[in-house]
Amino acid sequence: MPALAEATLDALPEHLCVLDRSGTIIWVNRAWRRFAELNGGAPELTAPGANYLAVCAATPGVGDAFRAGLLDVLEGRRDRFSQEYPCHSPTKAQWFVATATRVEVEGQPHVVVTHNDVTAQRETQEMVSLFVRHSPIFAYIKEVTATQSRVVQASEIFAQMVGIPGSQLVGKTMTDLFPPAMAAQMTADDWQVVSGGKVLEIDETLDGRRYHSVKFPIALHAHKTMLGGYTIDVTEQKRAEETRRELEHRLHHAQKDDSLRVMAAGIAHQFNNLLMVIQGYLELSRRDDGLPDDPLRADAEDAMRRAASISGSMLSYLGQDVLHREPHDLSLEVTNLAPQLRALLPRGVQLAFDAPVELLWSTIDAGGLRRVVMNLASNAWEAVAAKGGTVRLAVHPAASPPPSAEEPGRAPHPGPWVCLEVSDDGPGMTPEILERIFDPFFSTRFAGRGLGLSVTRGIVRACGGHITVDSTPGHGTSVKVYLPQSTQAELGAPRPIIATERRVAPRRQPRPGAVLVVDDEPLVLGASERLLQHLGYEVLTARSGEEALTLFRHHADAIGSVVLDLNMPGLDGWQVLAALRAQRPDVYVVVASGLDVAQLKLERREVQPDGWLQKPFGAAPLAAALHRADG
């Protein structure tokens, strides 16, 4: 062998020898000799002159397989043969790849045998394999073509997802493991990754669990398109996110609801103050001019009463009606409304009832219930009036109402409940409309239509109930009102259960003398003064709590009664009442308010008034509240 060629082969890190056609070693390089020496190789087996087939025979198992392949190369049945095998030296475990290659030298066949140390690559592969197999996430490596994606490595944890551990997934395709549609999508996604050379993140669902996958290409061999990836079970995380969004949605509803309730309370208060002025002067004009009934004045009084009704509807929206609750059979109450409802039905609309024979009692306000039924039924038949359809009313027992974003912060008790359901087969509502249906004056038909559903929800709340709405475009609407089913104790109660019971103040009688009127609204103050003068009282007026206490100190002996507004800047009515009683415990005080008096009566106050006036009021309620003391 020429010196340059021999020097070159000696410099190679591979262990190299050359065999003649019989398998006898005719030359070895330096790496071959060094390895043989370090591992105690016998010269008669590893040095030139030894037959390499005997070396193979000395290592059963691995050597047998390589000997068979080597014979094929020596005898010309193949040109090349390779085999990976372990070679455990005294100091460490090693892995080699042995390759036999047939070559022609001066017309004679020879075989070049090389042994390459692949221990580092093998350890790396083993670590990757162990990492993938024992990873706590769903990790995998796949070989991918345009039509097939096959598992090369996979985590054992896959047993939790598909029921098969990762070691048993090797060699299986997506079609073998997943439903057809999902397998096709996975294969297409995998090919997109390896063909496009880009990372892909996707969300997937399997057997009710939700997963997030990240897939990326692996450059391994030019003739193979490989993909690596991992999948994380994000079911609980997604549920937590959905719960958070639902809570945020409910909080938004609650905040909007609170804002509307504050606004409605303020409007009702101001509205009733102004109506108080109008009603007072209309009454006085009727009595002062002595003229026959004037149609214009009658119209003004009718408008005032209708305005007072709207103000009352606002209080209903707030759930602040004066409700007289007692047990009623819901089936009977709804059935009794059938003739009235049928008389109001538009042409082409049918009304169907489903009321059970069994008694379904609930402690409710009967008038409020009738208003709820009429509101819901009229909304339903308006929804189907254009094309005709059916409105259904049903009453049935129910378990606990489902949580509803329309009832934020009000968790229903377990039950039992009675459910009143009003449904239609009309066009249904979009989610955007559904979200606003309880807003005051919201309507899909024309602006400012009214407080129908807002009032309905207020009445239901005041009765301790819940209301839910289900609607889908093209599939109609169903409104369910859940009312607590009456207990046996309630059904056996000797008297009606009144929701507005209050602590009774000590009985006082108004004294003869002047009436002190306290109100921060000049118009209300003037109207009250004129009404009291018309009733024959001497009147003192104060526009603030501070002014009222000053007047009372100076004229305490002359003042017989006080008519006191509650909502005032500075000292409010409750503070003024306490101060008046501290100065003269027997003073007779009537509280007047534009807010709902029934709710004010329920407040736990140390000092209670002797009478109440709901604004707007006229001369007759005012006289009744003061017991008209003539001396």
The yes-or-no verdict on residue 313 having pLDDT over 80 is no
Return the closest-CA partner of residue 312 out of 599, 11, 620.
599
pLDDT of residue 600: 75
pTM score: 0.41
In sequence order, the β-bridge partners of residue 150 are: 143, 173
pLDDT of residue 324: 59
pLDDT of residue 354: 85
The yes-or-no verdict on residue 595 having pLDDT over 80 is no
pLDDT of residue 291: 56
CA distance 13 to 32: 9
The yes-or-no verdict on residue 256 having pLDDT over 70 is no
Lowest mean pLDDT among 86-100, 168-182, 304-318: 304-318
Structure tokens at 470: 């289900």
Residue 448 carries which side chain, given as an amino acid letter? G
Provide the 8-state DSSP code for 399: S
Q: Which residue has the higher pLDDT, 589 or 441?
A: 589
Please state the rounded mean pLDDT for residues 39-56.
77
The yes-or-no verdict on residue 193 having pLDDT over 60 is yes
CA distance 292 to 284: 14
Lowest mean pLDDT among 224-238, 358-372, 460-474, 492-506: 492-506
CA distance 614 to 601: 11
Lowest mean pLDDT among 34-48, 161-175, 614-628: 34-48
Return the closest-CA partner of residue 560 out of 586, 542, 533.
586
The yes-or-no verdict on residue 619 having pLDDT over 70 is yes
pLDDT in tens, 4-25: 878 888 888 888 999 998 999 9
Q: What percent of the chain has pLDDT over 90?
A: 28
Total Cβ atoms within 10 A of residue 247: 12
Confidence of residue 253 (pLDDT cuts 50, 70, 90): low
Residue 152 CB-density burial (10 A; 0-12 exposed, 13-18 middle, 19+ buried): buried
Highest mean pLDDT among 451-455, 500-504, 567-571: 567-571
Structure tokens at 527: 């109207």
Confidence of residue 189 (pLDDT cuts 50, 70, 90): very high
Burial 540-562 (b: 16+ CB within 10 A, else e): bbbbbbbbbbebbeeeeeebbbb
pLDDT of residue 497: 36
pLDDT in tens, 516-558: 999 998 888 988 998 899 888 999 999 999 999 999 999 988 9
Domains and CATH numbers, the chain: 3-117 (3.30.450.20), 122-233 (3.30.450.20), 242-311 (no CATH), 326-491 (3.30.565.10), 514-626 (3.40.50.2300)
Q: What is the dihedral of CA 600, 605, 607, 611, to 10 degrees?
A: 20
Confidence of residue 448 (pLDDT cuts 50, 70, 90): very low
CA distance 482 to 410: 13
pLDDT of residue 631: 40
Q: Which residues contact 153 (CB under 8 A, 6 or more apart)?
A: 128, 129, 132, 133, 139, 140, 141, 166, 170
pLDDT of residue 142: 93
Q: 534 by DSSP, 3-state: which?
A: helix
Helix ranges restricted to H, 75-203: 119-134, 159-162, 166-169, 174-177, 180-196
Helix axes 295-317, 452-462, angle to 10 degrees: 60
Cα 137 to the center of its chain, rounded Å: 28
Are 492 and 535 within 8 A, CB to CB?
Answer: no
Confidence of residue 340 (pLDDT cuts 50, 70, 90): confident
pLDDT of residue 364: 78
The yes-or-no verdict on residue 175 having pLDDT over 90 is yes
Confidence of residue 185 (pLDDT cuts 50, 70, 90): very high
Helix ranges restricted to H, 420-566: 431-434, 452-462, 488-491, 522-534, 545-555
pLDDT of residue 222: 59
Please state the rounded mean pLDDT for residues 590-600.
79
Angle at 499 (CA atoms; ends 623, 501), nearest 5 degrees: 55
Are 587 and 581 within 8 A, CB to CB?
Answer: yes
Return the closest-CA partner of residue 612 out of 588, 584, 585.
588
User: Hunting for tokens 């489903």 — which residue is that?
Assistant: 354
Q: What mean pLDDT value characterizes the chain?
A: 81
Confidence of residue 488 (pLDDT cuts 50, 70, 90): low
The yes-or-no verdict on residue 446 having pLDDT over 50 is no
pLDDT of residue 490: 61
Confidence of residue 581 (pLDDT cuts 50, 70, 90): very high
pLDDT of residue 265: 63
Q: What is the dihedral of CA 275, 278, 280, 281, to 10 degrees?
A: 170
Confidence of residue 492 (pLDDT cuts 50, 70, 90): low
How many residues in the chain?
A: 631
The yes-or-no verdict on residue 179 having pLDDT over 50 is yes
The yes-or-no verdict on residue 316 having pLDDT over 60 is no
- Write phi, then psi, for 103 (nearest 5 degrees): -135, 160
Return the closest-CA partner of residue 449 out of 310, 320, 318, 302.
310
pLDDT of residue 282: 74
